[in-house]
Every structure is written in C-alpha cells, then in structure tokens.
C-alpha cells in the first residue's frame, strides 16, 4: 500500500465530464489499496476569467485581493472533484490551502511554501478518504490567502508529497512524459524513462514546459520521486529521480531550445571596474531578467559585452541601454531578436570531456554559426540564428543517438 500524490492540471479538469473521468482514474489506484492525495488546478480558462474581472475593476489589481479572487478557481474544482468521488460511491474530502495549512511567505501572487501541516490530511486518509487539495494556493501566518504563481500546482503537489513522505508524486499532463526533445520539431524524439533532478532542472530552465522548475528543485531537495505521465493513457511516463549508476551510460539526455530570447551587445565598453554594475543595475531595477552574459576583451582596454534578455523585454532594454552607453562612454548598442538558444543536457557529460566540442562540430557540419556559448556541469547552450533552430535540434538529437533507449526502464517504486 503506497501513499501517492497525483496532480491534474486545468485541461484535465476543464469541465464536469473531465472531472468525473479523472475521478474514475484516481479511484483505480484507490481501489488497489493506495492512499490517494489529489492536487488540482482551476478549470482551464477560469483563472484567466477571474483575472479579467479583477482588471476590469482595478487596472493593476491589488495583489492580496487578486489572490483572494483567483484562489476560488481551485476551490470550485476540488469540491466538484470530491463530489464526483462520492457520486462514484467512495468517500472524499476537499481541502483548501488554509485548511491544510500550507503556510507561505507574504509575497502575494508569487508566494513560497514555508511549511505544510500533514496532520489533517493524514487523519482523512486514515478514514479511507480520497483527499482532494486545492493546488496553487496557501495561507500566510496572518491568515491571508496567497497563490504560488505560474506552475504553482506542481509545486503544491511536490511539497505535499515531501511533507507526507509520499511514495510518489505523479504529475499528469497532456503529453506522455519528458521527451529527448520537442516531438513537434524532431520526429525521432523519444520519451525518457528516467531522468535525474539536475537534468530536469536544466531542461525546465532551458525551455521544456512539462514541469515547473520550482517543483523540480523541491523534489530534488526532498528526494521526492516524480512521475510525469499522461492523463489520457495508462502508459508509464518519465520518472524524475535521484541519479543512479544506470544513468551514467547516457551522455546526453535531452536536447531543448528556446525562442523567447533576444541578444544585445554593448560595443567598446571602457574596461574599468564598476562598469558591469553600471550596466546591469538599471536593467535589473527595471525588472528585466538577463540570462547569458559574455564579455570579449578587445585590444586597448576596451571590451564588448553581450547578453540575452527575454524577447518581450527587448525594446525596453535597448532603450535603457542606449542611455547607459552614453553615460559610460561605450561606442554603441546593437541587438537582434532573431536568435534561439539550443541546449544539450545530461548528467553523463560530467565525466566525459569533449561533449561541448562534439556539439560545436555537429552544428558546424550543418553550417550553423554559434553566436554565444554557455555551459554548466551538465549542459551546454549555444545561441544561434533563429532560422536554424529546428535543423540544430534534429542534428543534435541524431548525432547523440537520443532516439535509442539506453536507460534501463525498471520500476522505481
């Protein structure tokens, strides 16, 4: 008998028929004798509807009141779900973030979970109930309702699994699991059976949308085995787990890409102490997030600074930096929105030199020019011209033989 946390997103519970279907699915595990905790998002479209209502009243909605409003989305889903379980003849109870006591920080709309009280959940589980918990929401020490931001329900699920010492946290989604790359770009893309927390963290931060990055970090910290799988099939999905020996055979686990970024270069910056701060302080003050930063020293105490920002921040950033460039006596600011970041991720590369250069060779062979490079222990990212994105992804997927399953697929639990 296992304790399993299952999380279903907004499209999985998008209407009452889907809610009934998901309830049946949860009851299958329940009938096998498992203790079931279900985490749900709002019905798809509901959160957006509520935000529109709020913006209709207040252009920039008060964050506390906004949380009060949007948290009703999950409240409705969990109660409907508990009803569906009861209608099927089993017992269930719905609980909100403040009823469980999912204690969070005070940062409304982007709160962080500080503590979870597992007592009430355990009591209901002991009574044989399916416990249905509103994702995405928590409560402050003072009793105000908070929400956790985008992907918050994933975080709720993993945090609950950690607090309850669950045997697994299953994240249900509309794909079969985590893929070696985007199946829309590369037909040879293969579902990964097992992947490490660190690889998943890199994939999530590099553009893979299947799991929220905060939930992966939490899973890693508390060693929660996460199973990403499809709502619509019974197939095994992808297990996100701790590294083990079997995994080392795999040099590269996945290829990912992002088209959300733009590149900016400040040319001929006087190479003096404090210059970088003068450039990046106004940028961060404006809430613009900088990803890769590269500095090329020129001859004669001059340097070129190149970095990437989100494409949606590009115009604002360019405007800001033209002013900054004047102040610091840099020559000019140039930039481009037509770029993409292609990355390879794999724990195996830690013990193998030459993975990065293999990547550069593969791209060169296809005539793709590399504009920027950034590496970590388990990933290599290259910024290239956007038009080469799909070509690069397919070439890398093929060259690193990701279509071939080298990972043993035994059960984790």
Q: What does the binding site for a copy of itself look like in residue numbers (CB under 8 A)?
A: 16, 19-20, 50, 53-54, 56-59, 61-62, 64-66, 68-69, 71-72, 75-76, 78-80, 82-84, 86-87, 93-94, 96, 98-99, 143-144
Question: For residues 86 and 316, which CB has a smaller minimum distance to a copy of itself in the complex?
Answer: 86
Burial class (CB in 10 A: 0-12, 13-18, 19+), 68: middle
Long-range own/partner contacts, residues 234-238 (CB < 8 A, 24 or more apart): 235/176, 236/177, 236/193, 236/409, 237/176, 237/177, 237/178, 237/191, 238/177, 238/178, 238/191, 238/192, 238/193, 238/194, 238/195
Q: Which is nearer to a copy of itself, 149 or 282 (CB)?
A: 149
CA-to-CA distance for 139 and 169, rounded, in angstroms?
Answer: 22
Spatial contact of 67 and 145, defined as CB atoms under 8 Å apart: yes
> What's the Cα-to-Cα distance from 287 to each of 259, 277, 317, rounded to whole Å?
20, 15, 10
CB of 124 to a copy of itself, least distance (A): 11
SS3 322: helix
Minimum distance of a copy of itself from residue 67's CB (angstroms):
8
Pair of tokens at residue 54: 């709020």
Token duo for residue 263:
């590149």
Query: Does the CA dihedral 316-320-325-326 come out positive or negative?
Result: positive
Q: Which is nearer to a copy of itself, 98 or 261 (CB)?
A: 98
**3-state SS string over 163-212?**
HCCCCEEEEEECCCCCECCCCCCCCCCCECCEEEHHHHHHHHHCCCCCCC
Judged by beta carbon, residue 62 or residue 174, the one nearer a copy of itself is: 62
| Nearest approach, Cβ of residue 52 and a copy of itself (Å) | 10
Write down the least CB distance from residue 87 to a copy of itself, Å.
Answer: 4
Provide the minimum distance between the beta carbon of 118 and a copy of itself in the complex, in angstroms, as a whole number.
Answer: 15
Which residue, 69 or 252, is less far from a copy of itself as judged by CB? 69
Q: How far is the CB of 317 from a copy of itself (least distance, A)?
A: 30
Which CB atom, from 63 or from 406, has the smaller least distance to a copy of itself?
63
Between 48 and 338, whose beta carbon lies closer to a copy of itself?
Answer: 48
* CB of residue 335 to a copy of itself, shortest distance in Å: 37
CB 265 within 8 A of CB 292: no
Nearer to a copy of itself, 141 or 315 (CB): 141
DSSP 348: G
Residue closer to a copy of itself, measured from CB, 137 or 173? 137
Phi, psi of 264 (to 5 degrees): -130, 135
Minimum Å distance from CB 143 to a copy of itself? Answer: 6
Element (DSSP H or E) covering residue 265: strand 261-270
Q: Which two tokens stand for residue 8?
A: 């279903």
Q: Report residue 39 as tokens.
A: 């985490």
Please report where in the chains the tokens 């055979």 appear, as a residue: 249
Q: Which is nearer to a copy of itself, 67 or 212 (CB)?
A: 67
The nearest distance, CB 155 to a copy of itself, in angstroms, is 22
Minimum Å gap between C-beta 5 and a copy of itself is 20
Q: Alpha-carbon Rg of the chain, whole angstroms?
A: 24
Residue 135: how many CA atoms within 13 Å on its side-chain side? Answer: 31
């Amino acid at each position: 008998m296992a304790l399993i946390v299952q999380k279903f997103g907004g499209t999985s519970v998008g209407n009452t028929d889907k809610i009934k279907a998901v309830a049946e699915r949860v009851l299958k595990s329940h009938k096998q004798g498992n203790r079931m905790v279900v985490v749900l998002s709002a019905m798809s479209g509901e959160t957006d509807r509520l935000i529109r209502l709020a913006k209709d009243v207040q252009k920039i909605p008060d964050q506390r009141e906004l949380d009060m409003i949007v948290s009703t989305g999950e409240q409705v889903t969990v109660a409907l779900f508990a009803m569906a379980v009861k209608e099927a003849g089993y017992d269930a109870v719905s609980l909100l973030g403040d009823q469980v006591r999912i204690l969070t920080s005070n940062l409304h709309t982007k709160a962080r979970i500080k503590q979870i009280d597992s007592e009430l959940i355990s009591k209901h589980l002991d009574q044989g109930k399916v416990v249905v918990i509103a994702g995405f929401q928590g409560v402050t020490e003072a009793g105000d309702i908070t929400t956790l931001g985008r992907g918050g329900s994933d975080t709720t699920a993993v945090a609950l699994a950690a607090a309850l010492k669950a045997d697994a946290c299953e994240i249900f989604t509309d794909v079969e699991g985590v893929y070696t790359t985007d199946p829309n770009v590369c037909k040879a893309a293969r579902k990964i059976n097992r992947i490490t927390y660190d690889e998943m963290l890199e994939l999530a931060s590099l553009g893979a949308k299947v799991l929220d990055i905060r939930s992966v970090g939490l899973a890693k910290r508390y060693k929660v085995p996460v199973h990403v799988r499809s709502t619509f099939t019974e197939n095994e999905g992808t297990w996100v787990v701790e590294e083990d020996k079997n995994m080392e055979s795999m040099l590269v686990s996945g290829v990912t890409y992002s088209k959300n970024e733009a590149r900016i270069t400040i040319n001929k910056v006087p190479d003096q102490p404090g210059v970088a701060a003068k450039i990046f302080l106004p940028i961060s003050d404006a809430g613009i997030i900088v990803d890769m930063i590269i500095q090329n020293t020129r001859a004669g105490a001059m340097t070129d600074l190149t970095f990437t920002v989100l494409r949606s921040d590009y115009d604002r950033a360019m405007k800001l930096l033209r002013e900054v460039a004047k102040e610091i006596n840099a020559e000019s600011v140039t930039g481009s929105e037509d770029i993409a970041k292609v990355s390879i991720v794999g724990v195996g590369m830690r013990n193998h030199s030459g993975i990065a250069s293999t990547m550069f060779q593969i791209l060169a062979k296809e005539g793709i020019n590399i504009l920027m490079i950034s590496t970590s222990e388990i990933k290599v990212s290259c910024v290239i011209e956007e038009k080469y994105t799909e070509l690069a992804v397919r070439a890398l997927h093929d060259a690193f033989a990701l279509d071939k399953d080298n990972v043993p697929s035994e059960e984790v639990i």
